[in-house]
Amino acid sequence: MQQAPICNPTTTTARWWSKDSIAIVTGANKGIGYALVKRFAQLGLTVVLTSRDPSKGVKAVDSLKVLGLDGNICFCQLDISDQASVRSFVSWFRSKFDAFDILVNNAAVCFNAMKENSMEHAETVVKTNYYGSKLLTEAILPLCRPSNSPFITRILNISSRLGTLDKLKNTKMKAILGDEKRLSEDRIDMVVGVFLQDVKDGRWERQGWPDIWTDYSVSKLALNAYSRVLARRYEGLVSVNCFCPGFTQTAMTDGQGKHSADDAAEMAASLALLSPSRLTTGKFYTGSTTRGMHSKL
Ligand code: NAP
């Protein structure tokens, strides 16, 4: 694993962004997404806080108002797993802004929590964490900054180290996802399809899928692979990286974790705001408040 010290946007002098820089955060009514909106707003970007439940989204914006941060925060409903919602979000966005600078695909579900490995909701997990992030990315990508802009658009996919290739023991599936040259969306979708079929047929436990939080891990494996495909396809136009925030105290972990959502958001913001001279693409970063930030290809 290769060390990659990340510049802290609060201390760097290379502040490339302004209030005209637009950041979109999905699943931002609570947890890491909410903390990230707060962080971006504190740093002076314009932020679009999205939430699948409008009342939760408005409540989140109201709570940021109390902190005096609402001036540069907009709200729009967005359920990433619902095509109609994604379409209406993109048309709303287009009516307000020319382009976006940062997209953070943060929204995700996990039904295992700190309990047993339940596969009951595997389809929803994959549909949200992988296909939902992909749906939004494809719909909003035409609104990335043009190639002659001073700053290129950034996509940060909030992922998990549970979705790294070493967690997969199925040699055939591992070979497909590990074959960088031939990796494509079709091949990723095929792997995901095999997984969902194994779940349907009740044989997923014997097929070498990740041992813990299996459906969640597969969804993040797919998201990581998709990020590498995108990074290659849009090299020079869009930077695409993944970030695992580490074990963080949110609803997803029943409040357990090694650090707060604010800590995780600070690390995510540092990555999303890397100065242009240090900007990377196609990387998977892991963060921890004690060990700092690491990256591997
Ligand atoms: P969280 O507190 O449960 O927040 C998840 C957010 O995603 C909520 O706002 C939720 O909305 C939203 N969401 C779920 N399905 C959605 C959909 N279809 N459309 C739009 N929004 C949707 O979890 P978190 O810990 O902050 O997780 C944030 C990200 O970090 C996730 O990608 C997660 O996989 C990743 N992560 C977390 C940890 C950790 O230890 N917490 C570790 C590694 C990675 P509702 O409130 O309506 O449910």
Average pLDDT of span 125-144: 98
Q: How confident is the model at residue 71 (pLDDT cuts 50, 70, 90)?
A: confident
Q: Is the pLDDT confidence value at 11 over 60?
A: no
Q: Is the pLDDT confidence value at 58 over 50?
A: yes
For residue 58, give Cα distances in angstroms to 84, 94, 106, 136, 218.
Answer: 20, 21, 18, 21, 32
Mutate to test the pocket of ligand 1, among 106, 212, 223 (most ligand atoms within 8 A of CB): 106
Indicate the average pLDDT of the chain: 92
Pocket of ligand 1 (CB under 6 A): 26-27, 29-33, 52-53, 56, 78-81, 106-109, 128, 132, 158, 160, 244-245, 247-248, 250-253, 257, 261
Residue 106 Cα: closest atom of ligand 1: 32
Mutate to test the pocket of ligand 1, among 25, 32, 267 (most ligand atoms within 8 A of CB): 32
Q: How confident is the model at residue 7 (pLDDT cuts 50, 70, 90)?
A: very low
Q: How confident is the model at residue 119 (pLDDT cuts 50, 70, 90)?
A: confident
Find the 226 Cα to ligand 1 centroid distance in Å.
19
Catalytic residues: 216
- Residue 9 confidence (pLDDT): 53
- Residue 10 confidence (pLDDT): 53
Q: Is the pLDDT confidence value at 63 over 90?
A: yes
**What are the pLDDT digits (tens) for 211-257?**
999 999 999 999 999 999 999 999 999 999 999 999 999 999 999 99
Find the 277 Cα to ligand 1 centroid distance in Å.
31
- Residue 112 confidence (pLDDT): 82
Average pLDDT of span 54-59: 98
Classify residue 62 as exposed, middle or buried by CB count within 10 Å of its CB (0-12, 13-18, 19+). exposed
Please tell me the least confidently modeled range out of 5-14, 144-153, 278-287: 5-14
Find the 273 Cα to ligand 1 centroid distance in Å.
21
Q: How confident is the model at residue 120 (pLDDT cuts 50, 70, 90)?
A: confident
Q: How confident is the model at residue 287 (pLDDT cuts 50, 70, 90)?
A: confident
Residue 28 Cα: closest atom of ligand 1: 9
Q: Is the pLDDT confidence value at 295 over 60?
A: no
**What are the pLDDT digits (tens) for 152-192?**
999 999 999 999 999 999 999 999 999 999 999 999 999 99
Q: How confident is the model at residue 1 (pLDDT cuts 50, 70, 90)?
A: very low
- Residue 23 confidence (pLDDT): 98
Which domains can be identified in the chain, with CATH numbers? 2-296 (3.40.50.720)
Q: Is the pLDDT confidence value at 5 over 50?
A: no
Find the 29 Cα to ligand 1 centroid distance in Å.
9
